[in-house]
Amino acid sequence: MSPPRNVHIAIVDDDDSFRDATEWLIRSLGFDVSGYASAEAFFLGVCADRKADCIISDINMPGLTGIELKQRLNEEGNKVPVIFVSAQTDPSLPHRVIACGGVALLQKPFQGRHLIDAVHRAIGIHPLN
């Protein structure tokens, strides 16, 4: 199933190689994509750029963490779905993701199919398999 037109996915991760690879994967699905090296850059970029329909965010980043990014969006009344990714194995992460309203948590490394499925769920696409 092809994505709806003009769906914009923002990727927030301080790891350049992960962010670049994820941008490539999401763009290959036909989505508009923008990448940000930090949560702070995301807030500056979205205000200057356009609204994101879904965010893929690392949890552990310098400055604002991914969880703090989602909490700030919540405080602003922004209900954009956030998919979290993390290399961290902290057993409290799933609870923290649920508590802030995250839609998924993927542990790095993960298969690209898992991210694709999470994005489709987050934006309401139900692929025909």
The tens digit of pLDDT for each residue in 14-43 reads: 999 999 999 999 999 999 999 999 999 998
Query: Is residue 129 included in any domain, yes or no?
Result: no
The CATH number that applies at residue 14 is 3.40.50.2300
Query: Is residue 65 included in any domain, yes or no?
Result: yes
Q: How many domains does the chain have?
A: 1
Query: Is residue 102 included in any domain, yes or no?
Result: yes
C-alpha R_g of the chain: 14
pLDDT for res 51: 81
Q: pTM for the full model?
A: 0.91
**Structure token pair of residue 117:** 């499925």
Structural domain containing residue 13:
8-123
Query: Is residue 3 included in any domain, yes or no?
Result: no
Digit-coded pLDDT (tens) for 51-101: 889 999 999 999 999 999 999 999 989 899 999 999 988 899 999 999 999
Query: Is residue 2 included in any domain, yes or no?
Result: no
**Structure token pair of residue 122:** 């987050």
The answer to whether 54 and 29 have CB atoms below 8 angstroms apart is: no
**Structure token pair of residue 102:** 């995250």
3-state secondary structure of 106: strand
- 98 burial type by CB count under 10 A (0-12 exposed, 13-18 middle, 19+ buried): exposed
